[in-house]
Amino acid sequence: MGFKEEIYKRRTFGIISHPDAGKTTLTEKLLLFGGAIQEAGAVKSHKIKKGAASDFMEIERQRGISVSTSVLAFNYKEKKINILDTPGHKDFAEDTFRTLTAVDSVIVVIDVAKGVEEQTEKLVEVCRMREIPIIVFINKLDREGKDAFDLLDELEKKLKFKVCPLSFPIGMGYDFQGIYNIWENNLMLFKEENKQKISKTTNISDLDDSRLTEFIGEIASEKLKEEVNIVREVYPNYNQSEYLNCKQQPVFFGSALNNFGVKELLDCFISIAPSPLPKESNERLIKPEETSFSGFIFKIHANMDPKHRDRLAFIKIVSGIFKRNKPYNHVRINKNFKFSSPNAFFAEKKAIIDQSYPGDIVGVHDSGNFKIGDSFSEGEKINFKGIPNFSPEHFRFINNKDPMKSKQLAKGIDQLMDEGVAQLFILEMNGRKVIGTVGALQFEVIQYRLEHEYGAKCSYENINIFKACWIENQQKSNIEYNEFKKLKNKFLAKDKDQNIVYLADSSFSLEMTKQKFPSLEFHYKSEF
């Protein structure tokens, strides 16, 4: 297969939603239909011992939530599918936002009972800003929920979507009988037995087929005909260019837990979703068909394999062919690196690969040289745009509970900070360490991972900090800068890269400091 054919067969997408909408369950079922796994694991069921393949961290299994993006790949109908299952919880949103820089399209999962929720609105806003094509999957139809037309209205009002239903449900909850697939013009009837395996469905291609009443009853049959007519009259026909430009959003209905409507979603997805797209860099637009390799790191994860204490950097390939053992230039530090064992992923399972193509995600071992946002090329100076950094919202002192494990604690903090889950500040006055996170739940995850991955125990102590501000001395006025450092000494700290950070204790004191030292610029992020 040629280079261009390899690019065309790839589909790299993210699955996003509010927590508990069934995102990870949908990921599992996509893998099941793709033949990548034989049996799906229920994320929250205690009856089924098998856990979700994409939730491989112990804390994820315990809480039943995703706290980190996982990468999964499989082949389906001659297409190579790369799924990025993202955390839904708002405390881990920065991981999701970074992941959205590495996808070419997304599937938004909506809970039929709860409809559009706050976190979904924020994530969709990021997708719209980046013009990422979106497909909607309305999940949990086997439970009681909102009326299908009400949900479509909600998508239009709250998310400003121009929806195009490509399937429509027959009933809901106890009355749920199946789905009419508008995309393929056929009917699938719901059979609830054997939830964990794929169940066969009955196909009817025409709504005027006399067997329809026989299967679903006269009342449901008349209602379905009426609703499908309304859909065809009220909503626009599917338009490929509008979907690709984020101006139209196809909608599917189903129940991921019961494997229902998932195959139809997947079949439509592989035929309409974009193959790898060009990506903007500071220098120029990079197209996937270019023969010269380029890529960027959007995620770093320590201890994916607890036995080996490895640290992996996830590289999204933007152009050219990534080859094992070939030297590539690390643009930020202008140094060449060779990767002897690059990995392809199936959750925590890894396989060494010899080459990868645009759209693929490759894991490379990192001994501390890489940062999120780093670019690689075959020599050209390329810096990819849009990898976000975040201003911490919550701050706490971190204390060592076991003095015998000081080295392990220091190493653990160091590596977890590189993952981008939090930021470390060391106070100039007394050397105490302060952790800053975007979400409060991150503190719990850090504490858990320090103990279970590094054997170090920590405790937290509250500290009153309003904002962390990185200082830029615009006019290079040393007198004013030195006076600022002297006056604010007890509020100054250094970050991991030894930059001076002002930890303001209130919005009032920050405003007063800005007025007192006009030559200094106060930034909420370290990248300015």
pLDDT per residue of the chain (528 residues) written in tens, 0 to 9? 688 999 999 999 988 888 777 877 888 888 877 765 544 443 333 333 334 444 445 555 454 444 455 778 888 888 888 888 776 555 556 667 778 888 999 999 999 999 888 878 888 888 888 889 999 999 988 888 888 999 999 999 999 999 999 988 888 887 788 888 888 877 777 765 544 444 455 666 666 767 777 777 788 888 888 888 888 889 999 999 999 999 999 999 988 888 888 888 998 999 999 999 999 888 899 999 999 999 999 888 776 555 656 778 889 999 999 999 999 999 988 999 999 988 887 644 677 889 999 999 898 888 778 888 899 999 889 988 777 667 788 999 999 999 899 999 998 898 888 777 788 999 999 999 999 988 788 898 889 888 888 899 999 999 999 999 999 887 666 788 889 989 999 999 998 888 899 999 999 999 999 999 988 889 888 765
Q: Which long-range contacts (CB under 8 A, 24 or more apart) does 194-197 make?
A: 195/257, 195/258, 195/259, 196/39, 196/40, 196/42, 196/48, 197/39, 197/259
Query: Which tokens go with 353?
Result: 């690969």
For residue 90, the one-letter residue type is K
Query: Which tokens go with 142?
Result: 């086997």
Neighbour-count burial for 431-462, b at 16+ CB within 10 Å, e otherwise: eebbbbbbbebbbebbbbbbbebbebebeeee
Work out the burial of residue 69: count CB atoms within 10 Å of its CB; fewer than 13 is exposed, 13-18 middle, 19 or more buried: buried
Work out the burial of residue 285: count CB atoms within 10 Å of its CB; fewer than 13 is exposed, 13-18 middle, 19 or more buried: exposed
| Count of Cβ atoms closer than 10 Å to residue 85 Cβ | 27
- Return the pLDDT at 90: 59
- Return the pLDDT at 237: 92
DSSP assignment letter at 364: E
Q: What span, in angstroms and rounded, lies between the C-alpha atoms of 243 and 153? A: 18
Q: What span, in angstroms and rounded, lies between the C-alpha atoms of 494 and 157? A: 45
- Return the pLDDT at 475: 66
Query: Which tokens go with 205?
Result: 């291609």
Angstrom distances, CA of residue 459 to CA of 286, 401, 496: 46, 6, 20
DSSP assignment letter at 119: H
- Return the pLDDT at 67: 46
Torsion angle, alpha carbons of 67, 72, 77, 78, to 10: 140
CATH number of 394-523: 3.30.70.3280
Topology adopted by domain 3-272: Rossmann fold (3.40.50)
User: In 335-419, which residue ranges form alpha helices assigned H by DSSP?
Assistant: 406-418
Q: What span, in angstroms and rounded, lies between the C-alpha atoms of 272 and 393? A: 39
Q: What span, in angstroms and rounded, lies between the C-alpha atoms of 201 and 3? A: 38
Specify the domain boundaries for CATH 3.40.50.300 within the chain: 3-272, 279-377
- Return the pLDDT at 444: 87
- Return the pLDDT at 69: 55
Non-local CB neighbours of 512 within 8 Å, separated by 6+ positions: none
Specify the domain boundaries for CATH 3.30.70.3280 within the chain: 394-523
Please provide the size of the chain in residues: 528
| Count of Cβ atoms closer than 10 Å to residue 195 Cβ | 16
Can you say whether residue 106 is alpha, beta or left, with left for phi > 0 and alpha for psi between -120 and 50 degrees? beta
| Contact status, residue 451 vs residue 471, Cβ threshold 8 Å | no
Give φ, ψ of 54 to 5 degrees: -85, -20
| Domain at 279-377: CATH architecture | 3-Layer(aba) Sandwich (3.40)
pLDDT digits (tens, 9 = 90+) for 446-504: 898 888 888 999 999 999 999 999 998 876 667 888 899 899 999 999 988 888 999 99
Q: What angle do CA 316, 318, 319 make, to 5 degrees?
A: 140
Query: Which tokens go with 262?
Result: 């998932």
Non-local CB neighbours of 477 within 8 Å, separated by 6+ positions: 519
N-term to C-term CA, the chain: 44
| Contact status, residue 397 vs residue 460, Cβ threshold 8 Å | yes
Q: What span, in angstroms and rounded, lies between the C-alpha atoms of 100 and 107? A: 11
| Contact status, residue 109 vs residue 134, Cβ threshold 8 Å | no
